[in-house]
Chains A and B, each alone.
Chain A
């Protein structure tokens, strides 16, 4: 079967009620001489955890960047909950309900942990323009609300006790959790995590898994780009395997693990 046939077949095999929350067709992205992403098509149903895996350089992060709007595709379509995403810049996608974390930690080092999360509430402020200059009642309400919600988020990721600490002084694992809290602050409907488990020890990975499960229970759709097969096996509903920027396999995690082409790609046959 050709790749598009596979995807189509997989889509047909899914229960009919699962509507594609996020779908893409034929995404292409080239950087100079390198075709980083070639002809990738995805269908991600609502409320699922979808993993994108593949060896190094497979184009996973590039795909995520295309989805979050950091790059624009050279060709192809992307639709999120009925809204066409191509041409929409990254910051506008956040208002539509997409959020992401980054592979390289990008915290605001000069700010406190709490300050980092509050900065992410940008799209949710409810203040009339003039009150930015004269801080009135709505300003105070918004301020209090943001603080309270930020603390809730920190509690969710287990950083409540570190709220007033400088972000730069957090341990690596804590910094990753802060990244998650910041992404959640935008109240996303689709959360994209770029190698969230990178550099975490086993206990931290467990905690991350728990959070992802909790979020899925609350109805969030999650896309995870990961290397860590353990995490993927435990939490993903479906998996897309990429290699050399191309589609290699899509299916359940168990199927992916058993697939000879996938094994060959990882072992570098």
Chain B
């Protein structure tokens, strides 16, 4: 019994870390732009495919492919911001950029479907099958260890960046009050671009590490993104600490739920949680109230 609990706990943390990586991207973008990038999911998928092709087509090292996916993600983030969010910012519409990204998402997913086909790709990283036996009958694959390790390091670095560096502080300033930050000599547009690049790089990385443990199809990202939305809401839009906690929590809940109920229902459970969250605490676990300025 304990074995199962521990094992699911480990799985929970593994998936949770990946959800956090993807969700952090969303929450960072929202924090700074108050916009949701629906195509975020597809950056995850493209990251996964990039890693796959680098590893299997070019015979590259898997660990290096994570770096490649990071750069591909970053490039896509730059592209999406430059072509969609930046031009639409002047129009001041809340709805339009969201809808545009829905369009991009549909476009990317189906373009990938055309190029890669619907049949899942077997993305076996060299680390997927080697196992480390931990005490109590539990085990962890090297892949999972890499996931936890890379995620933890990345999240820690990001957190430190946001808290302690000038640029990180500037980013938080732009998130709080774009106009004032602008008046203080910070270029909000550059910082927004930086945010996009970082967020999408995280997504790409997440994809590269997800590839081996999820089914790799053009829709791989979608399965993760809706959970990422749930996490961002539970943790609070724009709230980095909340997202980390919520991400790990959702990963764990999901793992234990798979054990206890029909696996097809885990999505249902996560989403019901999401709706309950929206009903009672829409601003997230660690809430900040913002009264409307009349």
Contacts and interface: CB of A to CB of B under 8 A. Distances in A.
11 contacts: A31-B289, A31-B291, A32-B289, A61-B294, A65-B294, A70-B294, A102-B294, A103-B294, A104-B293, A104-B294, A194-B294
Interface size range on B against A: under 10
Consensus secondary structure, chain B interface: loop
Interface in A17-66: 31-32, 61, 65
A176 to B, nearest CB: 16
Interface in B102-160: none
B148 to A, nearest CB: 38
Nearest to A71: B291
Interface in A70-87: 70
Interface string A95-123: 00000001110000000000000000000
Contacts of B294: 61, 65, 70, 102-104, 194
Interface string B282-294: 0000000101011
Closest 6 CB pairs of A and B: A31-B291, A102-B294, A65-B294, A70-B294, A104-B294, A32-B289
Consensus secondary structure, chain A interface: loop
B51 to A, nearest CB: 46
A194 B293 CA distance: 13
Residue picked from B289, B291, B293, B294, most chain A C-beta under 10 Å? B294
Interface in A175-224: 194
Interface string A248-259: 000000000000
A205 to B, nearest CB: 22
A145 to B, nearest CB: 31
Given A70-B294, A102-B294, A104-B293, 5 more contacts: A31-B289, A61-B294, A65-B294, A103-B294, A194-B294
Nearest to B292: A70
A268 B94 CA distance: 40
A35 B177 CA distance: 23
Interface string B148-183: 000000000000000000000000000000000000
B283 to A, nearest CB: 13
Contacts of B289: 31-32
A21 B289 CA distance: 35
B207 to A, nearest CB: 40
A31 B292 CA distance: 11
A44 to B, nearest CB: 21
